Amino acid sequence: MKRLKDVVDEARREGRAVGHFNVATLDMLRGVAQAAAGLNLPVIIGVSEGERAAMGVRQIAALIKSLREETGQEIYLNADHTTSLDSAKAAVDAGFDAVLADGSALALDDNVAYTRQVVAYSKSKNPDILVEGEMGLIGRGSQVLSEVPAEVATAELTTPEAASEFSLATGVDLLAPAVGNLHGVLANRPNPNLDIERVRAISATVNLPLVLHGGSGTSDEDVTAAIKAGCAIVHVSTELRLAWRDALRRSLADNPDEAAPYKLLKPALQAVEKVTAAKLKLFNNIDK
């Protein structure tokens, strides 16, 4: 199987992006994996600290390993939004392929120091692991929002100069900048437009694959433009959660006498698979 670095670099050269999808249950994982397998595309499974607590750090790593061995699928695992060194170490030691050292809520100097620690530990254990750094506030959590949080609306976007300094000081492999993106989706209107020229300028300055967080709720046009400007990985979480929740809600309502979880959860799995497939086609320039 290819190294994740090679998969990401290839996507970047070809003007595509690798899809990154967060999961919190086995049926969500299966839905994402089935969508990627059906399109014969690599995929990254993301698990945040909360999702890792729900599924188990070693357990999700074992599930990914078993999928690879059983199917030969290019499926990779990322420790998403990791906010402590101990949490990063646990993911690295479990065999994750990537880790996001998320110090975006810290002062810049503290973010640099924390990210450097994660890079040093990760590379000492596995030189092929990818470490991502994050700059700028784009919100917390994957949820439906009534409005853009005030701290996000007033936060400074990442500049090419700051991105360059950060990447050189930390030694990260990937960079997630704040370019107008937002975690979560707005309830009554599309998410804010991305600053595509800023993406392009940061990409040219740091010469690293960029990661676009907040892929849910962002217009297809903006996502496509961001990929062409240098975003080689796109994160999706909230849209999967909403698809899963809504399908499960309908399943429970339509089958009030059913007690078998795997039967009730089947529509939720299928809903996740459908959203994932549509996003993967978008990220990889595949006609719908």
Q: What is the pLDDT of residues 109-144, one digit of tens each?
A: 999 999 999 999 999 999 999 999 999 876 666 666
- Element holding 47 (H helix, E strand): strand 43-47
Q: Is 222 annotated as catalytic? A: no
Strand pairing of 98-101 and 144-145? Answer: unpaired
Could you tell me how far CA 237 lies from the centroid of its own chain? 7
Strands annotated E in 195-263: 210-212, 231-236
Q: What is the DSSP string of 243-255?
A: HHHHHHHHHHHH-
State the distance between the two ends of the chain, measured CA to CA, in whole angstroms: 28
Q: What is the pLDDT of residue 146?
A: 53
| Per-residue pLDDT band at 255 (split at 50, 70, 90) | very high
Q: Determine contact, residues 274/246, Cβ cutoff 8 Å.
A: no
For the CA atoms of the chain, what is the radius of gyration? Answer: 18
Active-site entry in 80, 97, 102, 195: 80
**213 vs 178: CA distance, rounded Å:** 9
Q: 211 Cβ partners below 8 Å, 6+ apart?
A: 20, 132, 174, 175, 176, 231, 232, 233, 234, 235
Determine which of 11-15, 127-131, 188-192 has the lowest per-residue pLDDT on average. 188-192
Residue among 287, 276, 288 nearest 18 (CA): 276
Q: Is the dihedral of CA 22, 28, 29, 32 positive or negative?
A: negative
| Per-residue pLDDT band at 154 (split at 50, 70, 90) | low
CATH number of 4-283: 3.20.20.70
The mean predicted confidence, pLDDT, of the chain is 93
Residue among 14, 12, 65, 75 nearest 41 (CA): 75
Percent of the chain with pLDDT over 70: 90
Q: What is the pLDDT of residue 156?
A: 80
**182 vs 180: CA distance, rounded Å:** 7
Q: 90 Cβ partners below 8 Å, 6+ apart?
A: 52, 57
